[in-house]
Structure 1
Amino acid sequence: MKPNVIVALLVGLVLGFVGGRVTTGPSTKSEVAKAAPNSPAAPAPGGRRPVDPTVFKVPIENSPTHGSADALVTVVEFSDYECPFCSRANVTIEKLQEQYGKKLRVVMKQNPLSFHPRAKPAAIAAMAAGEQGKYWEYHAKLFANQKKLDDVSLEQYAKELGLNLDKWKAELGNPKFQDIITRDQALAGQLGASGTPAFFINGRFLSGAQPIANFQALIDEELVKAENLVKGGVPASQVYAKIIEKGSERAAPKAQPQQPAATVRKVEIPSDSPSFGPANAKVTIVEWSDFECPFCSRVGPTLSKIKESYAKDVRVVFRHQPLPFHPNAKLAAEASHAAHEQGKFWEYHDKLFANQKAMDRASLEKYAQELGLNVAKFKAALDSGKFKAKVEADMAAGNAVGANGTP
């Protein structure tokens, strides 16, 4: 059997083993594919998509809410302020709010996708505005100015809304907002709503920026059910809780689709990327990974086996994709390059994956010391952010070829 065929089989085993890998949104193929979740499926009779009758248990928690607690229909939206489909859907939601008035409540969940660099700062800025009672006004500003989400613009919107700027700026560093984003993204993944926008209407999943008629049809269905509950004695304020109380907490695993024909992509290999194997290898594997991702740690033994079995024929190149909801992953990636600078990337790589629960700054320095690195030089590299640009370049390159999830 030829080496490239064998490696293909091994890589297939890796992918099968980590089939539960984290993805970060609808664009896991290319820029063109971003629209895929919003592309119309085969229409149901009457011209709209069929909607799964499954009701999911979607908690509201302390999320921004617009509308009355007595609303008979609750729309929970997972959104991203830099996503063009989300801004389109926001117009639809505003029209629905006008049409249904007090019957409709909208709850916002944050899912800033990793390939939208300004989505997370925008979400945090909106939540900071919410501390002064103006989340929804700021939310509207963001979608109205989606091309201007830089720090200066975010501050300008705060000024235009009359916020106390000192208080707003101080809140931007509040760790609770990152915690909310992490919570919301975990919930989105659990419910099978990794793309944006995603909606749960009284717990029923509607994906993408669909035509308003599709929303109206589902809302009307749910209104009838809710009105019957009220007639049966359920207080309006308890309708949503009643509807979702026995709902599913997790999306059912999707059947694996038939694999399309293999696509070859042009993947650059920077000269400063860590690698093992000969430069003239018959097969090159480029891995995008995250030191805090549990699925990534499971790949190590397979890569070791490849190294052992195909030492002369296979080269493995390591590139970084620290995911936004892994708070220590990016600094760990920079630390690995500080170790690489001293010739010990793979040893440090193994240390990190062996100690995934301890990747704070003190632990990163401890591992450097244990490996006999020049710790002063190592610390200086982290303090200066010397390898920050390298990590971000790897992330951008990964996004460009569809490697938004890990590994």
Structure 2
Amino acid sequence: MKKKRAKTPTPKAGASRWLLPAGLLAAAITAGVVLGGLTSESSSKAAAKPAAVPQAAAKPAAARPTPQATTISRVKLDLEGAPAFGAADAPVTLVEFTDYQCAFCRKAHATLNQVKEKYGDKVRLVYMQNPLAFHKDAPMAAKAALAAGEQGHFREMHDLLLTSADLKQGALLAHARSLDLDISAFTTAMTSDKFNDRIQQDQAQAVRVGASATPFFFINGRSVRGAQPMTAFEAIIDEELAGDLLPTKWVASAATRSRRPAEDPNKIYKVDMANSISRGPKDAPITLVEITAFQCGFCKRSQATIQQIMETYPGKVRHVVMYKPLRAPTGAIASLAADRQGKYWEYRKLLFDNQRAMTDQNLQLWAQQVGMDVEKFEKDRQDPALAQFVQNNVRQASSLGVNGTPTFFINGKKLVGAQPFAAFQKIIDQELNSPDQAAAAS
């Protein structure tokens, strides 16, 4: 009978939900005591010291400029429920946003092993999931790590995933067997929707804090982007461990430190809409490009607004759809397969109405529901051309500076987010009343 591996330690109940490192807190308290005592201590020494014998005035020393301390920007993270290893009160907390199919995450993994070896108990490691849309095996790998974590072996599975080239289901099951996991429970958890909310929460937080790529790290709230060398981690960790009071500014996002200039609302972006799905006249005076994701709650919210636009401006708006999936492009590819049978808009509605239920079984059920040939639908879903089309959309969205969904382009003018109808109406009316449109109408 195989001997079970020892479970990796899990965080103690009641650990702090928010990232506020113990070292930083202690430094702040110390600063309060020291600074609070300076004035009284100086005053008492001055009173006790005998008066000095008058002497010739010495030449005053040249005043030296006071060095300006650099303010450290830190981001507050919600770590509740995330796999964590190390003491909750460790002086340094290192949070990693990762994608198991990301080559740079694999490279960074070796560096983090060096961090663990060098600093030991001084660093607490916290793991967040951010599988990228164009890595089709990454979402299930993330679920595999979390499923292993349920049986006390998250970190071992995490290590295996980042050192294995194969992330297909068979390989994930092989990893589970090598860890002596309960295979039935592991398989059920990995292949279900059980961890969807956990992964979506991590990804939503990644967007909120500006962790726009993988790997992305926060060391006591200080951001480190990409597979940096060990020296980059050492520089920050050593500074945090030194115990010096570092001038700190808490910011909402890592992107806040290098905030981009506000975009010109009149800037016209050139959007390549070749082969994109659309409705409305091709020669309509208004082209509304929607960059969307079927897993995005704000994208779902914007559907009613889009419908209101189409009804308010009949025959004047061409609605074009492009994709930037939050996770695996499952819904986008399924919708494109539906378009091949002329069922795009009916199927699209079902996808938005059932955002958390996009299993293979349901995708087939909905295909049947709208009258599709399910066998052809499944064959089309496997067509690499559809996955490539979505990936091309993602690339173009990035080139247009699209960092989130939904994002719209109205005759090339960018409008970000699930804005109210009035925001769209303002731009559309301006476009319809522009001199160019008036000339075209005459």
Task: Measure how far apart 1:114 and its partner are.
Answer: 0.7
Task: Measure how far apart 1:267 and its partner are.
Answer: 6.6
**Preserved CA contact (<8 Å) 1:335 1:382:** no
**Preserved CA contact (<8 Å) 2:323 2:394:** no
The one-letter amino acid paired with 2:390 is: M
Structure 1 match to 2:292: 289
- Is residue 110 of structure 1 aligned with residue 115 of structure 2? no
Matches of 1:114 and 1:71, distance apart in 2: 34
**Structure 2 counterparts to residues 180-329 of structure 1, below 5 A:** 180-225=198-243, 247-250=250-253, 254-256=259-261, 268-269=274-275, 273-278=277-282, 288-290=291-293, 293=296, 294=298, 297=303, 308=315, 317-324=320-327
Q: 1:148-193: CA deviations, max 9, x gaps?
A: 1111111111112221211211221454421111111111111111
Matches of 1:331 and 1:214, distance apart in 2: 39
The one-letter amino acid paired with 2:98 is: S
Matches of 1:127 and 1:110, distance apart in 2: 9
- Is residue 75 of structure 1 aligned with residue 80 of structure 2? no
Structure 2 match to 1:47: none
**Preserved CA contact (<8 Å) 1:112 1:123:** yes
Distance 1:92 1:102, change over 3 A: same
The one-letter amino acid paired with 1:120 is: P
Task: Measure how far apart 1:396 and its partner are.
Answer: 3.2
Task: Measure how far apart 1:120 and its partner are.
Answer: 1.0
The one-letter amino acid paired with 1:204 is: R
Distance 1:162 1:194, change over 3 A: same
Distance 1:275 1:222, change over 3 A: same
Structure 1 match to 2:156: 137
Distance 1:336 1:155, change over 3 A: closer
The one-letter amino acid paired with 2:393 is: G
Backbone CA RMSD of aligned residues: 4.5
What SS does the corresponding residue of 2:212 show, helix, strand or coil?
A: coil
Task: Measure how far apart 1:276 and its partner are.
Answer: 3.9
Q: 1:100-124: CA deviations, max 9, x gaps?
A: 1111111101111111111111010
Distance 1:255 1:52, change over 3 A: farther
Distance 1:251 1:301, change over 3 A: farther
Q: What is the TM-score with the length of structure 2 in the denominator? A: 0.58
**Preserved CA contact (<8 Å) 1:199 1:205:** yes
What SS does the corresponding residue of 1:206 show, helix, strand or coil?
A: strand
The one-letter amino acid paired with 1:112 is: P
What SS does the corresponding residue of 1:184 show, helix, strand or coil?
A: helix
What SS does the corresponding residue of 1:215 show, helix, strand or coil?
A: helix
Task: Measure how far apart 1:76 and its partner are.
Answer: 0.7
Larger Rg belongs to: 2
Structure 2 match to 1:399: 394
Matches of 1:64 and 1:164, distance apart in 2: 19
Aligned residues: percent identity?
33
Matches of 1:212 and 1:381, distance apart in 2: 52
**Preserved CA contact (<8 Å) 2:223 2:254:** no
Unaligned runs of 5+ in 2: 1-68, 358-366, 408-442
- Is residue 378 of structure 1 aligned with residue 396 of structure 2? no
Structure 1 match to 2:167: 149
Matches of 2:168 and 2:70, distance apart in 1: 37
Matches of 1:375 and 1:189, distance apart in 2: 35
Task: Measure how far apart 1:248 and its partner are.
Answer: 3.9
